């Protein structure tokens, strides 16, 4: 090995080149230290948005983790989990009215309340002697339960939960019906309320499950009023489902800047557009436009691209607004996108005027990936990135972590330190750039030389043609 090669290899080792696996045959241009904040057999390293500026391949594919000796550490990419549906109970107090004495076998129950309708409102009025409390209802034939007026946006009531003051133990059977107008009643079913004492505490069954759809009023009739408890309260229970993000996307705000370097668009739309550089090709789930104050209405078209030379591609459109009504502010909220881009161009509808570059902020909700690596080898660890030719070094997450759902709660946690450029990779990139330039010059030289030679041959043939004609 000559002296020049020995110097090159020494410089590569000092700059981190020794961290490369023999199968990579490439240099990574950037490295960042990994600070383990909470140890574990597997360590979770969330990738910040700034890390995406150092990746040269989508995915990201061009990254490695190495230990203090430069040995590769097995890792996998872990994408954010989506949302899951959670069910919570929305409860509100219902109004209790004791039923009058049980009617004759062929009679009907007399409602202790009356309904009057005024426009869209229903008014409930108690008849004389009817009381909305437990007193007077302890030995009544049962209860009329008013679940309250339901708005269109409210989830339907699915059950009624009762509370009582006494006795400590009982078992009371009942039947119930439901109605919206106190005239037409639909059978609901039968059941039992009960309370049993035990060494571990009281065992109770306080709930009446309602059919779907249930009316506003529930008429509960005891099978034996003497065995019934002293009811003191009833609550209407409405199960409410909502989607909860398990791994919420990162919320990133960006100010408008100049068009990307090398941009050649100078159309009318281009001059009215705002340009935003996200720093790296980020996965974008949602986009929002925000302003610090005032009233703004902005119907816009959104376009994105990964590089400054790439063509713009439509990624969405919508109307963003901030309305200030004497200090009461309402906003439009983000719109869903589902794209990957580094540059975003926001073009307003020409009928809506221009956007103030100084006040308008682009907010990106980005589901950034994480890296999970096995805490093997010799710490400290480093993350390498920045190679246009490196093959993917990530294992499937199921291969690295066999029981992901169980192991996730035991993950350690790490954070990424500041990035640095590796000298050997920078020199290699510069050498490749010069080589590409030389190849381009040589190619043009050959093309120009070929054209010149072809022109000379044509000229010689044109000169020779008259001479042969005279002969």
At 299, which helix (H) or strand (E)?
Answer: strand 296-305
**Could you give phi then psi for residue 42, rounded to 5 degrees?**
-120, 140
**How confident is the model over 108-114, as a mean pLDDT?**
75
**pTM: predicted TM-score of the whole model, two decimal places:** 0.65
Residue 462 reports pLDDT greater than 90: no
Angle at 387 between CA 371 and CA 281, to 5 degrees: 65
For the chain, give every domain's residue range: 3-77+379-427, 87-243, 250-366
Residue with tokens 């119930």: 176
Cα 221 to Cα 395: distance, rounded to the nearest angstrom: 65
Q: What is the percent of the chain with per-residue pLDDT over 90, rounded to a whole number?
A: 55
Largest interatomic CA distance in the chain: 140
pLDDT band at 16; cut points 50, 70, 90: very low
Cα 240 to Cα 87: distance, rounded to the nearest angstrom: 5
pLDDT in tens, 317-368: 999 999 999 989 999 999 999 999 999 999 999 998 899 999 999 999 999 9
Q: What is the percent of the chain with per-residue pLDDT over 70, rounded to a whole number?
A: 80
Angle at 173 between CA 169 and CA 177, to 5 degrees: 135
CB 324 within 8 A of CB 317: no
* Range in 126-140, 143-157, 280-294 with the lowest mean pLDDT: 126-140
Cα 177 to Cα 284: distance, rounded to the nearest angstrom: 52
pLDDT in tens, 160-209: 999 999 898 999 999 999 999 888 999 999 999 999 988 877 899 999 99
In the β-sheet with 207-209, what is the strand arrangement from edge to edge? 83-93, 231-245, 159-164, 207-209
CA 127 to chain centre: 53
CB 327 within 8 A of CB 339: no
Looking at residue 11, its pLDDT comes to 38
Residue 260 reports pLDDT greater than 80: no
Q: What are the DSSP E strand ranges found in 182-269?
A: 186-196, 203-205, 207-209, 217-222, 231-245, 250-255
Cα 194 to Cα 207: distance, rounded to the nearest angstrom: 10
Q: Is pLDDT larger for residue 83 or for residue 222?
A: 222
Q: Is pLDDT larger for residue 448 or for residue 384?
A: 384
Cα 37 to Cα 414: distance, rounded to the nearest angstrom: 5
Cα 359 to Cα 290: distance, rounded to the nearest angstrom: 8
CATH top-level class for 250-366?
A: mainly beta
Cα 305 to Cα 262: distance, rounded to the nearest angstrom: 13
CA proximity to 221, closest of 138, 343, 99: 99
CA proximity to 388, closest of 419, 420, 425: 425
Over its C-alpha atoms, the chain yields an Rg (Å, rounded) of 37
Looking at residue 12, its pLDDT comes to 39
Total length of the chain: 471
Fold (CATH) for 87-243: Jelly Rolls (2.60.120)
CB 342 within 8 A of CB 305: yes
pLDDT in tens, 419-443: 998 766 555 665 566 666 677 667 7
**How confident is the model over 102-112, as a mean pLDDT?**
69
Looking at residue 138, its pLDDT comes to 47
pLDDT band at 264; cut points 50, 70, 90: low
* Range in 165-174, 261-270, 459-468 with the lowest mean pLDDT: 261-270
Q: What is the DSSP letter of 408?
A: G
Residue 50 reports pLDDT greater than 50: yes
CB 158 within 8 A of CB 212: yes
HSE (side-chain half, CA atoms, 13 Å) at 452: 6
Residue with tokens 């041959």: 457
- Asked if 87-243 and 250-366 have one fold, the answer is yes
pLDDT in tens, 383-405: 999 888 889 999 999 999 989 99
């Amino acid at each position: 090995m000559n002296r020049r090669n020995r110097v090159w290899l020494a410089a590569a080792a000092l700059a981190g080149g020794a961290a490369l696996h023999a199968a990579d045959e490439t240099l990574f241009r950037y490295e960042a230290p990994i600070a383990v904040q909470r140890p574990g057999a597997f360590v979770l390293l969330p990738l910040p948005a700034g890390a995406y500026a150092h990746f040269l391949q989508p995915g990201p594919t061009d990254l490695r983790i190495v230990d203090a000796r430069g040995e590769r550490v097995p890792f996998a990419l872990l994408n954010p989990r989506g949302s899951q549906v959670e069910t919570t109970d929305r409860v509100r107090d219902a109004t209790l009215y004791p039923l009058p004495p049980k009617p004759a076998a062929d009679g009907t129950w007399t409602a202790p309340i009356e309904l009057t309708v005024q426009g869209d409102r229903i008014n409930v009025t108690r008849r004389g002697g009817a009381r909305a409390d437990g007193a007077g209802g302890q030995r009544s034939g049962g209860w009329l339960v008013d679940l309250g007026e339901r708005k269109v946006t409210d989830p339907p009531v699915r059950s009624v939960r009762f509370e009582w003051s006494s006795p400590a133990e009982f078992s009371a059977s009942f039947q119930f019906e439901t109605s919206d107008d106190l005239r037409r009643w639909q059978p609901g079913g039968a059941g039992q309320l009960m309370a049993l004492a035990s060494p571990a505490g009281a065992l109770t069954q306080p709930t009446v499950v309602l059919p779907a759809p249930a009316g506003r009023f529930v008429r509960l009739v005891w099978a034996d009023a003497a065995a019934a408890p002293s009811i003191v309260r009833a609550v209407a229970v409405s199960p409410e489902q909502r989607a909860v993000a398990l791994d919420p996307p990162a919320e990133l705000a960006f100010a408008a800047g100049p068009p990307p370097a090398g941009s050649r668009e100078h159309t009318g739309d281009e001059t009215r557009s705002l340009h935003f550089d996200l720093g790296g090709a980020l996965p974008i789930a949602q986009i929002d436009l925000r302003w610090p104050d005032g009233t703004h209405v902005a119907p816009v078209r959104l376009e994105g691209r990964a590089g400054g030379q790439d063509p713009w591609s439509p990624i969405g459109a919508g109307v963003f607004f901030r309305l200030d009504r004497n200090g009461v502010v309402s906003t439009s909220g983000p719109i869903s996108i589902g794209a990957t881009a580094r540059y975003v161009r926001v073009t307003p509808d020409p009928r809506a005027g221009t956007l103030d570059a100084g006040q308008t902020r682009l907010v990106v909700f980005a589901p950034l990936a994480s890296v999970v690596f096995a805490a093997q080898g010799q710490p400290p660890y480093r993350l390498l990135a920045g190679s246009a030719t490196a093959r993917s070094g990530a294992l499937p997450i199921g291969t690295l972590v066999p029981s992901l759902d169980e192991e996730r709660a035991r993950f350690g946690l790490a954070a990424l330190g500041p990035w640095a450029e590796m000298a050997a990779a920078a020199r290699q990139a510069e050498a490749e750039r010069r080589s590409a330039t030389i190849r381009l010059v040589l190619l043009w030289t050959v093309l120009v030389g070929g054209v010149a030679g072809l022109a000379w041959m044509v000229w010689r043939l044109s000169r020779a043609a008259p001479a042969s004609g005279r002969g």
